Amino acid sequence: MRRAATTEEMWALGEEIARLLRPGDLVVLSGPLGAGKTTLVQGVAEGLKVRGPITSPTFVIARVHPSLAGGPALVHADAYRLGGALEVDDLDLDASLDDSVTVVEWGEGLVEGLADDRLEISIERGDAGDERLVRLRGIGRRWSDMPNSLD
Q: Which residues are CB-neighbours of 49 under 8 A, at least 6 positions away? A: 67, 68, 69, 71
CA angle 110, 125, 58 (to 5 degrees): 40
Asked whether the predicted pLDDT for residue 117 surpasses 80, the reply is yes
pLDDT tens by residue, 60-85: 678 889 999 999 999 998 877 666 66
Asked whether the predicted pLDDT for residue 89 surpasses 70, the reply is no
Beta-carbon neighbour count of residue 131 at 10 Å? 14
- In the predicted model, what is the mean pLDDT of residues 132-147? 90
- What is the C-alpha to C-alpha distance for residues 123 and 14, in angstroms, rounded to an integer? 12
pLDDT band at 42 (very low <50, low <70, confident <90, very high): very high
pLDDT, residue 130, reads 83
Choose the CATH number for 2-133 among 3.40.50.170, 3.40.50.300, 3.30.230.10, 1.10.1200.10. 3.40.50.300
Extents of the domains making up the chain: 2-133
- In the predicted model, what is the mean pLDDT of residues 75-98? 69
- In the predicted model, what is the mean pLDDT of residues 81-90? 62
- What is the C-alpha to C-alpha distance for residues 47 and 50, in angstroms, rounded to an integer? 8
pLDDT, residue 61, reads 73
Asked whether the predicted pLDDT for residue 103 surpasses 80, the reply is yes
pLDDT, residue 144, reads 87
Asked whether the predicted pLDDT for residue 138 surpasses 80, the reply is yes
Asked whether the predicted pLDDT for residue 133 surpasses 90, the reply is yes
